[in-house]
């Protein structure tokens, strides 16, 4: 017997629809409702929690505000538009193809240590806003290196499914980039409030090795597992509700409530 498994780790619209989408038995990707979930990471609680020094100041000696490591300057999510607006109100250091600063991927550990030591905030902005699509930008670049992530991607509920409690800031909670910048300035000047986002430390750990192939092997050897067949894989993978509109949510909200001229998707270019 053959088991046809469609495996991928990228968002649906990063590639064309799957041909012959009715041949697959199982799905294996980052979505938690796939047959063999393969998320980029998740938070696992300790029982009981580990003792930690609650007096640690995670803002100590950090002299810079916001960093962003990015290589794709024109993603489907139009995240660059948001960053350009946000940068009008707070300092953002952009590393990689879309900015003026560089930190070589061949020395990734040094880049992440620099991020941990120098910056208070990190932009964990996904290239697509799709269900459960939360990548290593969130787990590795921010949570694992004591930087407070500002997230743009799926909705808050999806982040709360995999993240420690009160460990991130979601752009959807703010009416505009300026409102977000105002909040970040407040956290920057108030270490007590900033450190509240790190109270989860010691209560669990970030898991990024989900032992995917071991779990897959166990499933393949499970003779009691009922066979499954997808009549239309693309409907499940790319159907209505799986990904958000190209127009960023904050732009729609801003245009509906602002007394100023509407923001256009074509007005701001990547830099």
DSSP string, 122-179: EEEE-SS-BTT---HHHHTTTGGGT-EEEEESS-HHHHHHHS-TT--EEGGGSSSHHH
Q: In terms of domains, do 190 and 224 share one? A: no
Peptide bond into 48 cis (omega under 30): yes
Residue 141 lies in a domain: yes
pLDDT at 231 over 90: no
Residue 193 lies in a domain: yes
Q: In terms of domains, do 77 and 176 share one? A: yes
Predicted pLDDT at 51: 78
What element of type H or E holds 182? helix 177-189
Q: In terms of domains, do 103 and 198 share one? A: yes
Which tokens is 98 given?
């879309």
Q: Model confidence over 21-78: pLDDT tens digits?
A: 678 889 999 999 999 999 999 999 998 878 777 789 999 999 999 999 998 887 767 7
Q: In terms of domains, do 178 and 233 share one? A: no
Range of the domain at 14: 5-45+208-238
Residue 243 lies in a domain: no
Predicted pLDDT at 271: 32
Q: In terms of domains, do 185 and 112 share one? A: yes
> For residue 45, what are the β-bridge partners?
204
Q: In terms of domains, do 200 and 215 share one? A: no
Predicted pLDDT at 78: 78
Strands (E), the chain: 5-7, 26-28, 42-45, 64-70, 92-96, 119-125, 148-152, 169-170, 204-207
In the chain, pLDDT over 70 holds for what percent of residues?
87
Q: In terms of domains, do 135 and 226 share one? A: no
Lookup result for tokens 């003779």? 223
Residue 269 lies in a domain: no
**Residue 136 sits in a domain of what CATH number?**
3.40.50.11660
> Residue 143 in contact with residue 164, Cβ under 8 Å?
yes
Predicted pLDDT at 117: 97
pLDDT at 81 over 60: yes
Total tally of structural domains belonging to the chain: 2
Cα–Cα distance measured from residue 130 to residue 31, given in angstroms and rounded to the nearest whole number: 9
pLDDT band at 270 (very low <50, low <70, confident <90, very high): very low
Which residues are catalytic, by number?
Answer: 10
Predicted pLDDT at 223: 82
Q: In terms of domains, do 33 and 87 share one? A: no
Q: In terms of domains, do 23 and 157 share one? A: no
Lowest mean pLDDT among 31-35, 159-163, 255-259: 255-259
Q: In terms of domains, do 230 and 100 share one? A: no
Q: Model confidence over 185-196: pLDDT tens digits?
A: 999 999 999 999
Residue 117 lies in a domain: yes
Q: In terms of domains, do 160 and 220 share one? A: no
Q: Model confidence over 99-124: pLDDT tens digits?
A: 889 988 778 899 999 999 999 999 99
Q: In terms of domains, do 137 and 184 share one? A: yes
Residue 254 lies in a domain: no
Lookup result for tokens 């270490």? 191
């Amino acid at each position: 017997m053959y088991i046809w498994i469609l495996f991928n780790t990228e968002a649906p619209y990063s590639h064309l629809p799957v041909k012959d989408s009715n041949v697959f038995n199982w799905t294996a990707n980052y979505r938690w409702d796939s047959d063999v979930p393969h998320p980029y990471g998740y938070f696992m609680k300790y029982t009981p929690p580990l003792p930690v020094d609650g007096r640690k100041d995670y803002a100590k000696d950090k002299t810079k505000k916001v960093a962003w490591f990015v290589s794709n300057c024109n993603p489907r999510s139009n995240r660059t538009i948001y960053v350009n607006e946000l940068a009008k109100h707070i300092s953002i250091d952009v590393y990689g193809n879309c900015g003026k600063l560089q930190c070589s991927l061949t020395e990734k550990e040094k880049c992440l240590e620099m991020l941990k030591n120098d910056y208070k905030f990190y932009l964990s902005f996904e290239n697509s806003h799709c269900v459960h699509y939360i990548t290593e930008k969130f787990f590795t670049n921010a949570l694992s290196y004591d930087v407070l992530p500002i997230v743009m991607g799926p909705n808050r509920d999806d982040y709360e499914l995999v993240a420690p409690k009160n460990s991130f800031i979601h752009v959807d909670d703010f009416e505009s980039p300026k409102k977000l910048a105002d909040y970040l300035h407040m956290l920057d000047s108030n270490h007590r409030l900033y450190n509240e986002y790190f109270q989860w430390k010691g209560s669990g750990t970030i898991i990024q090795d989900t032992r995917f192939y071991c779990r897959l092997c166990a499933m393949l050897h499970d003779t009691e597992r009922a066979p499954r067949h997808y009549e239309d894989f693309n409907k499940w993978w790319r159907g209505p509700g799986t990904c958000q509109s190209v127009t960023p949510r904050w732009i729609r909200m801003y245009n509906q409530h602002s007394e100023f001229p509407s923001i256009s998707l074509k007005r701001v270019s990547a830099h």
